[in-house]
Structure 1
Amino acid sequence: MGIYANINFKEVSEVRNRIKNLRIANNISQAELGNKVKASNQAISAYESGFRNPKPETWQALADYFNVSIAYLKGAYSKDEILKMLQEAYKKAPHYGANSYYQVRNEISFNVDLVMIAHGFIEPNEPSINGMLSQSDVNNFEFWKQNFSFIFESVAIAWLISRPIEVSDDEILKAINEAIQIELSKLATDTRERQDKDGYWLESPSKYLSKRQEFINDHITQDGTLEF
C-alpha cells in the first residue's frame, strides 16, 4: 500500500480551522466578517476559538467569501502549501548530509533531479549526486507548479488537500517522495522522444534515465561512494 498506509489519517477537530488566520490576513474584524456571512461577531469568535462549529451553509459562506475550499477552511492543506514543502525540502537537503533524520529530504532532492534529467532539463552526466537545479529555479515557485503538480495524482496527497487530517511534516514529505517515485517509474518506461519549448528534439525520458544510471555506475567506488 506504500506510504498511504503509513499516514495517520485521523480527522482533526474543526477547532483547527483557518477562519481567524484568513480574517486577520484580510484585515477585517469579527463583526465585519459576521456581516459578510450573516453571522454575529460572537458567533465568529466562537468559530475561531472552537467553542462552536459553523453550520454547513455558514462554512460555505465563509469559503465563498475567502475564495477557498471548505476543506482548506477546516484545516486541510492547499496545493500551494504542499508544493512549498517540496520546494523547501529541496532547498535544505544538500546542507544536511546523509544522517537519518534528513534522509527523506535527501531522497526528495535526488528524485527531483532525476525527474528533471528525464525531461532533458538537466544533463545526465552532471557531476553531482543531488541539488543540481539552478538557484533561480529552486527559488521560483512557478517552476515547482509547472513541473511537479503531478504529485496531486497521488491518493495520499489527494487526501491531504481534500479533508482536514492529522499528519506530521515528515509524513507529508514521505507522501511527496512516494508520489515522485511513482512518476519516476513511469518515466523509466517512457520511450517517446519529444520536442522542447524551442522546438529541439529531446531523447526519451527512459533514455535519459539510463544514461544517468550509466554515468553513476562509471563513477561509483567499491565502498559505494561516488567520485566525479
Structure 2
Amino acid sequence: MMNRLKEMREVRGYTLDDVEGLTGIKRGTYSNYENGNTEPKLKTWQKLADFYGVSVPYLQGRYDHLTKKEALQVIHEVMTVCGISKEELKDRL
C-alpha cells in the first residue's frame, strides 16, 4: 500500500518547500513520508489529512476513492490554481 502524500502535493502544485512552510513539517521529513522511508505518527497523519482536506485512510492509500466533499474540495483547489472559474468549467464540460 502506497500513501498519497506526493500525489496530493503535486495535484495542488506544492513544492516540498511549500509544504514545509504551510505545515511546519521539514521538507526532508515529508520527503521520507512520501517515499515510505518513515511513517508519520497518527497526529501527523491527521494534520496532513486536514491540510489536504481528505480523510486519513484516503491519504494513507487505504481507500481508492474520495468522498463527494473531498472530491469537490480537490476540484475547487485545482480550479483556483489553474485560474478556472465555475462558468468556464461548466463550458468545458
| TM-score normalised by the chain length of structure 2 | 0.65
8 Å contact kept, 1:37–1:58: no
Give the conservation status (yes or no) of the 8 Å contact 2:20–2:27. yes
TM-score using structure 1 length: 0.28
Rounded Cα–Cα distance in structure 1 between residues aligned with 2:4 and 2:51: 13
Which residue number in structure 2 is paired with residue 61 of structure 1?
47
Equivalent residue number for residue 50 of structure 1: 36
Runs of 4+ in 1 over 6 A off after TM superposition: none
Q: Structure 2: which 5+ runs fail to align? A: 68-93
Q: Using the alignment, how far apart are the partners of 1:17 and 1:60 within structure 2?
A: 13
Cα distance between partner residues in 2 of 1:18 and 1:38: 19
- 1:31 CA displacement: 1.6
1:47–1:54 Cα contact (<8 Å) kept: yes
| Residue from 21, 26, 29 that aligns with 2:15 | 29
- Aligned counterpart for 1:38 among listed residues 1, 20, 24: 24
Structure 1 pair 79/23, CA: closer, same or farther in 2 (3 Å)?
A: closer
The separation in 2 between residues aligned to 1:79 and 1:29, in whole angstroms, is 23
How many percent of aligned residue pairs carry the same amino acid?
Answer: 33
Q: Which sections of structure 1, spanning at least 5 residues, go unmatched? A: 1-11, 81-228
**TM-fit CA distance, 1:18:** 0.1
- 2:24 maps to amino acid: K
- Alpha-carbon offset, residue 38 of structure 1: 1.8
- The CA distance in 1 between the partners of 2:35 and 2:49, in whole Å, is 18
